[in-house]
A and B are shown apart, each in its own frame.
Chain A
Amino acid sequence: MSVIPLTVSLSLGLVFIFVALFWREQRGRHRASPERDSLLPLAEEQPRAAGHAPAAAGCGCERGEHPPCAGCRRERPDAVTTL
């Protein structure tokens, strides 16, 4: 048996399975699952001094009220990040 076609076939098969599973995972990512949901309370968070600038400045992007605005991204790149 030729090794190369076999390797290619198996590799393609694995790729296909990966793509199919990835597609399924992507489609289902908005669904709930008990395993994932049960971890929700354990999400990490960081403290920030109360009365911090964003509320006073009136910019809601740091409070998550609207998407990061250009001004905040420019002035405080560490505070608001965009993928």
Chain B
Amino acid sequence: MNPPGQKTTIEFNDRIVRQFMLASILWGAVGMLVGVLIATQLNFWQANFATSFLTFGRLRPLHTNAVIFAFVGNMMFAGVYYSTQRLVKARLASDFLSNLHFWGWQLIIVAAAITLPLGLTRGKEYAELIWPIDIAVAFIWVVFAVNFFWTLARRNEKSLYVAIWFYIATIITVAMLYIVNHLSVPTSLLHSYPVFGGVQDALVQWWYGHNAVAFFLTTPILGIMYYFLPKAAERPVYSYRLSVIHFWSLVFVYIWAGPHHLLNTALPNWLQQLGMTFSLMLWAPSWGGMLNGLLTLRGAWGKLRTDPVLKFFVAGVTFYGMSTFEGPLLAIKSVNALAHYTDWIIAHVHGGTLGWNGFMAAGMFYWLAPRLWNKPLYSTGLANLHFWIGMTGILLYIGAMWASGITQGLMLNATSEGGTLLTYPNFLDTLNAIRPLMLLRVVGGALYLAGFLIMIYNLGRTIRGAAPVNGTMEVYVEPPAAADRLGVTGTFLNAPVLFSVLGLAITCLWLFTSGWVNLLGFFGLALCVLLAIGHFESRGTAWGDWYDKLLINALPFTVLVFLAVAAGGLIQIIPMITIDRRLQTEDRVATVYTPLELAGRDLYVREGCYLCHSQMIRTLVPDVMRYGDYSRLGESIWDHPFQWGSKRNGPDLARVGGKYNDAWHFDHLQNPRQISVGSNMPTYPWLFTGTIDFGALPAKIRVQKMLGVPFPNWSPALIDTLARGQARDIAKDLQAQGRYVAPDREIVALIAYLQSLGKKWEPATGTTAASP
């Protein structure tokens, strides 16, 4: 560390920023290209090329992982490293860790790009990567964290700027989410089962999934906004005090909203209500942040005419506002009943990713390239062209998906004859109604990609022939002041923290009790808020002084952020994962799969069937009329991973077992259009040639038993006998219906699994009544 009283010149490590930026651009193009391909596949089934590693179910995880972790991830690291060094006035702590971070992350991306098309997946959205890669991700994330916090420890600027707060929240929360949701027990080097099953897995998954959006796609980009937008506008952020409220309310509230992905499902109602309520509360901090960003341009709106960087930033922040308006709207149960499982959700997601993430990334790249290579941007005109093509692409995309989602949602829910019949009983009618809109989505996505490619050309011409430069800054090394240390007492025993903890405790009392205790909670909360306001009005200076002091104490700040984000997860998840699973069954409890059905289930996961087919009949009349009795919690309690799904490109499969005979499934998987005219489902020829991995079943069943699934004490030999015996029966049945296949083919196992769906349960009372 520098001793006090000296001025020194620091040269920042901008090499790592250049590397992350170029990697982001490369992977962004790849991820978006795959996105356009899978959008095309939904219109033209031939675009699956009847090839396993090019089929929709395997490429869709590649698209999401590439754009989230490779494109936005690398962009985030570039932005975080660039801005952090300048905001704390210190070079990154370790060149070695920076390089390890960069190359480790790229290696992970390459590993994902190989394994996902091969069908190696955990079967959970945005958490598909197999366990060895998961461990690598956790390790590299820790490297990132160490490098970041080490840099903070060596900083020459004592006070932490608002962007740094968002980075701190990102690092600790993503670590927490990723580790918990990826807890798995391996069955082999390339396969594992998540430790949570059924509703527990669903809850943990969407606690992770929703907050991957919050803390991977939002908070770091907000930090980037708070740094780069003032830079580009050449004026400080509109309201620094508003950013304090924006930050703390956002990180506290966001984490509670996960259950809104499971509205109207079998998830306990108290969790659904909690998810909906907190989602609605998110409106305020999100819009506070958006307004803070936009108002930073006060007096500088004229620059929008000439500066493409500001154009991208302003549009990006506006899309953030639109998406964060739409998100809570979709989290209202009645709106969700229409929108969930439809393209409306796809519109919402892409408003955020293409508009917010993509445009913020473009603005940052256009701002960084001339500074990192000390050369003016090659063409402002091309950057403007990129902006308008990209904007047209986004509007076409989300406009088409809004129309598509609402159309299909209305058609699926429509009833006639006084609500006794479905107006469109054939799912394909609703699919074919939205085909033109799905095609428009392809056009929009392709336009957006074209704009991105123009950016690559523009930046390439900017960089070509230019020598890279690193930023330098003269800094004054300030003496450490022991009096400013907060310590444990100073961190926790102060009015803001005490009022927050008290308020949260009383809120829980209000939310989770009934009768007079509930009333006590309500009035107690009102009193607590009034007392806090009164105290702030009379002793506001003390609150401000404490916060100013907190900002120069990185560790206490980080601890408080961790507590703020952990609270929501703990209150929602702990009750669900500690309670005996058998108590969360409603009136039905699942029976275990046969060994062959389990093998088939793993194939269902491998092919990504869950990405187009849900296994969750919601507690909604049209769902029940279309798919059968609503799904009970107990019917999926032994499912590791759960397969409730989040999108219905095809119909729900929760009760498809027994609905059709084996030959129907055989024909349907061979060529869906033989049976379902107009279907967009891919063909699966490789299932008819691939052989079932009988040898893996004992290890898989052993792991499932370890996780609490009540499999009988089958020996490996018995498992093999049972699996092969059932396979022979199915093959014989197929033969009787004129379909010839060897009993050891994968199609046989998949048929066994599909025929078990909706059949594997018994009454929760413990009686041995047969399946329905």
Question: What's the nearest-Cβ distance from chain A to residue B658, in Å?
Answer: 63
Question: What's the nearest-Cβ distance from chain A to residue B488, in Å?
Answer: 20
Question: What's the nearest-Cβ distance from chain A to residue B417, in Å?
Answer: 64
Shortest Cβ distance from A39 into B: residue: B236
Query: Which residues of B sit under 8 angstroms from A49, Cβ to Cβ?
Result: 467-470
- For this complex, 23 residue pairs linking A to B, each with C-beta atoms less than 8 Å apart, are A31-B549, A32-B158, A33-B548, A37-B162, A40-B161, A41-B237, A43-B89, A45-B86, A46-B472, A49-B468, A50-B467, A50-B469, A54-B11, A62-B10, A63-B91, A64-B2, A64-B8, A64-B10, A64-B11, A64-B91, A79-B9, A81-B7, A82-B7
Name A residues whose Cβ lies closer than 8 Å to a Cβ of B: 29-52, 54-55, 61-68, 79-83
Question: Are A36 and B472 neighbours in the complex by a CB distance under 8 Å?
Answer: no
Residue from B10, B241, B481 within 8 A of A34 (CB atoms):
B241
Determine the distance from Cα of A40 to Cα of B2 in the docked complex, in whole angstroms: 20
Shortest Cβ distance from B474 into A: residue: A81
Shortest Cβ distance from A47 into B: residue: B469
Shortest Cβ distance from B244 into A: residue: A34
Shortest Cβ distance from A54 into B: residue: B11
Query: Which residues of B sit under 8 angstroms from A51, Cβ to Cβ?
Result: 468
Determine the distance from Cα of A45 to Cα of B241 in the docked complex, in whole angstroms: 26
Question: Are A45 and B472 neighbours in the complex by a CB distance under 8 Å?
Answer: yes
Question: Are A37 and B161 neighbours in the complex by a CB distance under 8 Å?
Answer: yes
Question: Are B551 and A37 neighbours in the complex by a CB distance under 8 Å?
Answer: yes
Question: Are B240 and A41 neighbours in the complex by a CB distance under 8 Å?
Answer: no
Residue from B90, B157, B471 within 8 A of A45 (CB atoms):
B471
Determine the distance from Cα of A61 to Cα of B236 in the docked complex, in whole angstroms: 31
Contact with A along B87-110 (1 / 0, CB 8 A): 101110000000000000000000
Q: Does B732 reach chain A (CB closer than 8 Å)?
A: no
Name B residues whose Cβ lies closer than 8 Å to a Cβ of A: 1-3, 5-12, 14-15, 83, 86-87, 89-91, 156-163, 226-228, 230-231, 234-237, 240-241, 244, 371, 374, 467-478, 481, 484, 545, 547-549, 551-552
Determine the distance from Cα of A61 to Cα of B91 in the docked complex, in whole angstroms: 11
Query: Which residues of A sit under 8 angstroms from B374, Cβ to Cβ?
Result: 47
Most buried by B among A38, A41, A45, A68: A41
Shortest Cβ distance from B4 into A: residue: A67
Residue from B89, B244, B484 within 8 A of A31 (CB atoms):
B484
Question: Are B2 and A47 neighbours in the complex by a CB distance under 8 Å?
Answer: no
Contact status of A82 and B6, CB under 8 A, knowing A39-B236, A43-B86, A50-B468: yes
Query: Which residues of B sit under 8 angstroms from A64, Cβ to Cβ?
Result: 2, 8-11, 89-91, 156, 475
Question: What's the nearest-Cβ distance from chain A to residue B638, in Å?
Answer: 53
Residue from A32, A35, A38, A55 within 8 A of B11 (CB atoms):
A55
Query: Which residues of B sit under 8 angstroms from A36, Cβ to Cβ?
Result: 159
Question: What's the nearest-Cβ distance from chain A to residue B80, in Å?
Answer: 14
- 7 smallest beta-carbon distances between A and B, as pairs: A64-B10, A32-B159, A47-B469, A34-B240, A38-B236, A32-B551, A50-B468
Most buried by A among B2, B476, B549: B2
Question: What's the nearest-Cβ distance from chain A to residue B13, in Å?
Answer: 8
Question: Are B6 and A83 neighbours in the complex by a CB distance under 8 Å?
Answer: yes
Determine the distance from Cα of A31 to Cα of B550 in the docked complex, in whole angstroms: 9
Question: Are A63 and B10 neighbours in the complex by a CB distance under 8 Å?
Answer: yes
Contact status of A30 and B158, CB under 8 A, knowing A50-B469, A64-B475: yes
Contact status of A37 and B240, CB under 8 A, knowing A42-B231, A63-B10: yes
Residue from B8, B14, B86, B234 within 8 A of A80 (CB atoms):
B8
Question: Are B470 and A67 neighbours in the complex by a CB distance under 8 Å?
Answer: no
Contact status of A40 and B157, CB under 8 A, knowing A32-B551, A32-B552, A67-B2: yes
Question: What's the nearest-Cβ distance from chain B to residue A36, in Å?
Answer: 7
Determine the distance from Cα of A63 to Cα of B91 in the docked complex, in whole angstroms: 6
Query: Which residues of A sit under 8 angstroms from B6, Cβ to Cβ?
Result: 67-68, 82-83
Question: What's the nearest-Cβ distance from chain B to residue A64, in Å?
Answer: 4
Question: What's the nearest-Cβ distance from chain A to residue B608, in Å?
Answer: 43
Question: Are B3 and A48 neighbours in the complex by a CB distance under 8 Å?
Answer: no
Question: What's the nearest-Cβ distance from chain A to residue B317, in Å?
Answer: 16
Query: Which residues of B sit under 8 angstroms from A66, Cβ to Cβ?
Result: 1-2
Shortest Cβ distance from B549 into A: residue: A31
